Each structure stands twice: as C-alpha cells, then as structure tokens.
C-alpha cells in the first residue's frame, strides 16, 4: 500500500484505504486533488500487476473502461479515467458511499428480518432502469453496442445512503468490438446468477441479464438464492432444470401481480421471458405506483440507514468481481 500511495501521489491521488480486493484487482478509496484546494473522493480500481501483462485481461480491463466511460446514467456507477502507471492499468470511478446489495442482504439475515416487498421491487426496478439504458446504448456511428452485462448479482449493485441504486462492474460484459468474448467455449459469470443461456454455453443477448435480475428479486424477497448450492455444478444444473416455485407460497406478501413479474423474468425459454429490460422495469413500476404513492430513493435511503446503523457496516463500494471463465467440459 505504501508503494501504491507514493506512485499515485504523483498523479494527485491520495490513497486512503483498500476497500475491496478481487481476483483481478484491488479497489481503493482515494482523494483526487486539484488546483485551488479542489478535492473529490473517488474509487480507484487497479488491475493486479500479474494480470496487466496478460493480453486477455488487459483487453478486458481497457474494454471495460472504454465501454463504461460513455455509460452516463444515474443507475450506473460512472468511470472518469483510465490510466497506466508502472505497467499497471487503473480506472478512476465514482465513489459510492453506501453498501452493496450482498451486504444489505447479509445485514437482514443477521437481524432476522426480511426486506419490505415494495423496496425489493423498487431496487430491482432501478437496476432494470440502468440495464435499459445500457442495452440501448449506441456508439458514435449509431451502431447498437449490444451490451450484455453477464454478471448481474447482489455484489455488483451498490446502494448509496441517499437511496440511489447503481449497477457496477462491467468487467465481463459483452459489447461490440470492445470486450474479449468466447461465448460457446466458456461460461462468464457466477454459477448461481447465470441465465440458462450462459449455463448452457449458448450465445447471449440482452435477455440474458433479465433472468439473473429475476433471481436477485427473489433473493431480496426471500433472503436466499433458491438456485445456490455449495457445489457450483449443482447451482448451474438448478438454473437449467430446477422446478420454479410459486413464490407467493414462500412469502404470502407476494401478490399475483408481483408473482407474474417474477415468473416472466424466470422463463428459461428466452422467447417467453421479458423481451427487454424496459418491459420488466415498466411492469415493476406499474406494480409499485399504479395505486398511488410508492417507494422513492429517499425512502430507501432512510431504510438503509435504519438497517445498517444497527452495527458498523463494512463498506467496500465498487467491489471488483474476479473474471470467471470456465472452459467447455
């Protein structure tokens, strides 16, 4: 850390602390300093030295930075700068003061509480908003980038203490001309949050992000991922073949409208799933607001503080996710 601090001081970044470590990189909280006493708290994601020299990882890291640089949306963590120093690439990113969704779930479990149904649906509707924007993004030549995040899961969703919900870590995303991609040969993503297409080595499109988004919704509602197993292969087999339950039997507060949204998002046949993130977002918002007042960022922020203030939360914003590529068996 001392060596890193010294190197980045020369670039006017004061490294404050390590906030997360993953297989590929480390994320630091840092203060960017400028003229006239200017300061800004940022997150610095640094690729590990041993990966900086591997072309596949290097291309993905650069591709991620180029991709997210122009993804400017309130529900996506912003990236400000890509740099290289001492042979290592780094990204300067928006610092989100809050917790990731995995921590939020863990705190509920520790307190023996379930997340309110409306707030669970609200969080997922905000993720769907970010995905809608990303999936529709075009380049300067007006070509659809064809972005598929491929790593939707609680660890890659940040909730700020003000209640903002932000999708992060496009490190294994699929996008036109930008990211290293070996679909059909490898599985990208975490076993318990795969779409059936990913789990079966098929080529994905944007609908592949909606099945794991449905998984996240059910996990927020139930406090557990119904597909997760200690054995990774079994998790994948569950994704492909486990009977999808009626979730209202597992939590009575799930009404028929929300049940229908969940069931549509978890259709294994993607032709029967939501056609796009916008449609899923729209259904969630109709569910939340058609009868009048519904949840807001402010309400979520108040609830987040209420839950997390019951102990000192560990805060690793912008948590990096190690690249998970597994060859075809």
Question: What's the pLDDT tens digit per position in 158-175?
Answer: 999 999 999 998 888 888
Domain spanning 98-327: CATH superfamily:
Transferase(Phosphotransferase) domain 1 (1.10.510.10)
Q: Mean per-residue pLDDT for 102-121?
A: 97
DSSP 145-190: ---B----SGGGEEEETTS-EEE---TT-B-TTTS---BTTEEES-
Query: Which residue ranges does the chain devote to CATH 1.10.510.10?
Result: 98-327
Distances (CA, A) of 201 to 64, 90, 147, 262, 329: 22, 31, 18, 24, 10
Of residues 299 and 293, more confidence is placed in: 299
Contact residues for 177 (Cβ-Cβ < 8 A; gap 6+): none
Distances (CA, A) of 92 to 51, 104, 133, 207, 264: 18, 25, 22, 30, 37
Pairing of strands 79-85, 13-21: unpaired
Q: Mean per-residue pLDDT for 201-219?
A: 96
Q: Which residues pair with 79 in a beta bridge?
A: 93
Q: Which residues pair with 85 in a beta bridge?
A: 88
Fold of 2-94: Phosphorylase Kinase; domain 1 (3.30.200)
60, 63, 69, 71: CA torsion to nearest 10:
-90
Of residues 36 and 181, more confidence is placed in: 36
Query: Which residue ranges does the chain devote to CATH 3.30.200.20?
Result: 2-94
Structure tokens at 7: 């190197």
Question: Could you report the per-residue pLDDT of 275-289, keeping only the tens digit for each?
Answer: 999 999 999 999 999
Give catalytic residue positions.
Answer: 151
Please tell me the pTM assigned to this model.
0.89
């Amino acid at each position: 850390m001392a060596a890193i601090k010294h190197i980045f001081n020369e670039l006017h970044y004061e490294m404050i602390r390590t906030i997360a470590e993953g297989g590929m990189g480390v994320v630091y909280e840092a203060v960017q300093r400028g003229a006239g006493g200017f300061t800004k708290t940022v997150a610095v994601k640094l690729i590990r030295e041993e990966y900086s020299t591997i072309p596949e990882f290097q291309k993905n890291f650069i591709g991620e930075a180029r991709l997210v640089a122009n993804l400017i949306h309130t529900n996506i963590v912003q990236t400000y700068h890509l740099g290289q120093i001492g042979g290592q690439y780094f990204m300067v990113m928006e610092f989100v003061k809050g917790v990731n969704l995995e921590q939020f779930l863990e705190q509920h479990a520790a307190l023996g509480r379930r997340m309110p149904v409306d707030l669970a649906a609200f969080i997922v509707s905000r993720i769907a908003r970010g995905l809608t924007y990303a999936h529709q993004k075009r380049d300067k030549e007006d070509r659809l980038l064809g972005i598929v995040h491929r790593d939707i899961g609680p660890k890659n969703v940040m909730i700020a203490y003000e209640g903002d919900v932000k999708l992060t870590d496009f490190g294994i995303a699929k996008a036109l001309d930008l990211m290293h991609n070996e679909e059909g040969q490898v599985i990208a993503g975490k076993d318990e949050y795969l779409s059936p297409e990913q789990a079966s080595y098929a080529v994905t499109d944007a609908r592949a992000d909606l099945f794991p988004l449905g998984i996240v919704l059910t996990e927020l509602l139930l406090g557990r991922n119904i597909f997760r197993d200690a054995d990774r292969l079994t998790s994948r087999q569950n994704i492909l073949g486990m009977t999808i339950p009626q979730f209202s039997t597992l939590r009575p507060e799930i009404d028929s409208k929300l049940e229908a949204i969940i069931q549509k998002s978890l259709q294994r046949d993607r032709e029967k799933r939501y056609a796009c993130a916008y449609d899923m977002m729209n259904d969630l918002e109709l569910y939340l607001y058609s009868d009048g007042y519904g949840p807001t960022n402010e309400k979520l922020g108040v609830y987040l503080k209420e839950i997390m203030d019951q102990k000192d939360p560990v805060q690793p914003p912008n948590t990096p996710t190690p690249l998970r590529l597994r060859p075809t068996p």
